[in-house]
Amino acid sequence: MTDGTGNEDSTAFNSISDTSKANTSTAGPVVLYATAQAWRAQFYRSFTRSGVSESSDEEDDLSQYQFEDDLEYLRSLDPRDWKDQDHYAVLGIKDIRHKATEDLIKRAYKLKILKHHPDKRKAMGEEIRPDDDYFTCITRAWETLGSQAKRRSYDSVDPYFNDNLPEEKDCRNNFYEVLGRAFKDNSRWSVKKPVPRLGGPFTPREKVEEFYSFWYDFDSWREYSYLDEEDKESGQDRDMRKWIEKKNKATRAKRKKEEMTRIRTLVDMAYNIDPRIKKFQQEDRDKKNAMKRAKQEAAKARQQEEERIARDAAEKERLEKEKRESEERAKQDALKQEREVQKKALRKERKAFRDFCKANNYFAENPEESLRHMESVEKICELFKLVQLEQAMKNLLTSGRTAFLNIVEEAERRIEEERRVSVISNDARNTPDKQTKTCTAPWSENDLQLLIKAVNLFPAGTNQRWEVVANFINQHSSSTSGVTRDAKEVLAKAKSLQATDFSKSSLKEQANKKAFDNFIAEKKSKETIEERMPAVTERLDHPIANGTAAEPKEKKESAPWTPGEQKLLEQALKTYPTTVPDRWDQIAACIPTRTKKECMKRYKELVELVKAKKAAQVTK
C-alpha cells in the first residue's frame, strides 16, 4: 500500500476476493483508489472478451487493441530522464492512455520484452551499443504504470491533458458542446462516481441543480507526487528525508489548491453563462412577482372589503342614530308637552290656592299675622308640587285655618331640611385631604426676598426657569427654615404676588424696609456682617429699578476670590454683554458675596492678566 504520496509501490491484487477482504476502514484515498482500480480491472478481464467495454463512452473492444511499436521514439529516450518520458507511448498504448486496463498494460509490457529485450536483440543479430539502452525506459514505464499508486501519480500530471479553461466567448456561442466536453474531460479526476453530465437545453431543473451541486463540492483524487523535485529516499539521514518530505508536501498542497481553483473557476463560468440557470432565475423572479402581485391584490381586496364593511357599518349606525334621535325627539316632545300640561295645571292650582287664601284673609286674626301668612303662601306655592298643592287645597276646604297652619309648619320644616343638606354638601366639598393638599408652608420675609431676587436674576426665556428659581430659593433658605419648595409652588406664589393690589415699587419698598429692620435687629444682637449674606436687600429688585440705591461700603481689604465666585463672575460676564444698561449692577446681583466695585476690579485684573499672557506669547 502507499502512504498517500504515490512514492511507494502498491500491493498487487491477485483476485476480486482479495480486494473484498481488505480492511478499508483506515485506508487513505490512495488505497481506496487502488482497490477500485483492481476491481474494475478484474471486471474488465471477465467481460471484455464477451464484447462488453469498461466505459459506456468507448465502444472499441480493447481485447483486439493493436499495440504501437515506435522504435524511433524509443531510441530517442534517455534513461536518465525517464521521468520526462511518455510511459504510455513507451508501452505502445499512447492513444488510450488512462483508459487502459491493467491486463492491457501487462500484455503491452510482455510484447515489449519479447521484442526489445537485449538478449532477444542479440539473438536476432542486432548490435547492442551502450548509448542505445532504451530497454531501461521500458522497464521504468512498467514500474510506473504497473503500480496502481505510481500510475495514479503519473496520470495526475498527464502531459496530454489540457489544464486550460475554454474561452468564455466560445462557451457563450456553443455552451453545451464546449463546456460539456470540458466537464467530461475533468470528470476523470472525480473521487465520486458516477459523475453527472452537463446535459442539454431541456434537462430538468432537478438534474441541473444536481450537476452544479456536485461540481461545487467536487472532490478530486489528482495529486502531484510525480513532480517532486527530490525523492525522500535520497536523503542521507532521517532528518534530511523528513525535510525533503515536508518540502514535497508543501509543493503538492500548493498545486492541489491551484487545481481546485481551476475547477471552481470552470464551474463559476458555466453557472454564470448557463442559459438554463438564467431561465430558472427568471422563472423564480416571475413566480416571486406573481406571488407579490397576488398578495397585493389580496390585500387590496381585503382592504376594499374592510372599507365596504366599514361603510355598511357606518351607514347602519347612521340609520340607527337617526332612528334613536327621532325617537328621542319624539320622547322629548312628549315630555315637553307633558311638562307644559303640568306647568299649566301647577299655575292653575297655585292661582286657586292663592285666591282661596286671599278670599279667607290668609286665615289670619290680625294684620301682622296676615302679612306672615301671605309670605308663607308664596313659599308654599314655590315649594309644593302639583299633587301636594291639590292635597293642601283639599285640607283647606275641609279644615280651614287648622289645615293652613299645618301646611305652613310643614313648609318651614322642609325649607330647614334643605338648608341643612346644603351646608353638609358644602362642607363635604372642602375635605381635609384637599385642605392638606392646598396647604403649604408659609412664606417668610426672607423667602419673599429670595423669590423676588431669583425672578430678577433669571428672567423669562431661561431654560427651566422655575426649577432654577426653586433651586435658588432652596439653597439659600432650606438650611435655616428647613422647607423645600418645588417649581409649581414657586410659580403659584409669583403669580399671587403679581395679582396683588400693591404696585411693584411699593412691594420692593416693603421688602427692603423689612430687610432693613431685620438688619438693625441683627446688629443689636451683636451679629457681625460677615456671618450673613451681604447687601441682600440692595439687590432684591431688578437692577434697573434699584440703580439709585446706595451701595454698601467696600471692605478695606477684600478677601481673595474663590473658584466658585470666579465661575459666577465669568458666567455673568457672558450673560450680560456691554450693550446691557447698568451691566455691572446686574453682574453684581449674580454674585451675592461681592459688590459692584469688587466685580469691576476683578474684571480689570483679569483683563490685565490676559494682556500680559498675549504679550508673552508674542515675544516668544
The Cα-based distances of 5 to 143, 191, 192, 231, 236 in angstroms read 16, 16, 20, 11, 20
Do 591 and 613 contact (CB within 8 A), yes or no? no
3-state secondary structure 97-157: HHHCCHHHHHHHHHHHHHHHCHHHHHHCCCCCCHHHCCHHHHHHHHHHHCCHHHHHHHHHC
What is the distance between the alpha carbons of residues 207 and 199, in angstroms, rounded to a whole number?
8
Give the length of the chain: 620
Q: Is the peptide bond between 194 and the residue preceding it cis, with omega within 30 degrees of 0? A: yes
The Cα-based distances of 95 to 98, 99, 190 in angstroms read 9, 9, 21
Of 395, 411, 328, give the one whose Cα is nearest residue 357: 395
Using the structure block, give the residue that is written with the C-alpha cell 290668609.
362
Using the structure block, give the residue that is written with the C-alpha cell 407579490.
292
Q: Is 591 exposed, middle or buried (0-12, 13-18, 19+ CB in 10 A)?
A: buried
Mean pLDDT by groups of 10 residues along the chain of 620 residues: 36 32 35 41 36 39 73 82 84 85 89 86 78 83 87 83 84 88 87 89 91 90 79 76 85 87 90 91 92 93 93 92 92 90 87 84 79 81 82 83 83 82 63 48 81 83 82 74 81 79 48 60 50 39 38 54 84 83 86 88 86 74
* pLDDT given for residue 136 in this prediction: 87
Of 455, 456, 481, give the one whose Cα is nearest residue 470: 455
How does DSSP classify residue 55? S
> How many helices (H) does the chain have, and how many strands (E)?
24, 0
Do 257 and 265 contact (CB within 8 A), yes or no? no
What is the distance between the alpha carbons of residues 575 and 64, in angstroms, rounded to a whole number?
112
* pLDDT given for residue 435 in this prediction: 44
* pLDDT given for residue 428 in this prediction: 57
> What sign does the dihedral 167-170-171-176 (CA atoms) show?
negative
What DSSP string runs through 183-246? HHHHGGGBSSSSPPP---TT--HHHHHHHHHHHHT--B----GGG-SS-GGG-SSHHHHHHHHH
* pLDDT given for residue 538 in this prediction: 39
What is the distance between the alpha carbons of residues 91 and 140, in angstroms, rounded to a whole number?
10
* pLDDT given for residue 308 in this prediction: 93
* pLDDT given for residue 396 in this prediction: 82
- Alpha helices, DSSP H only, in 360-385? 367-383
Q: Is 605 exposed, middle or buried (0-12, 13-18, 19+ CB in 10 A)?
A: exposed
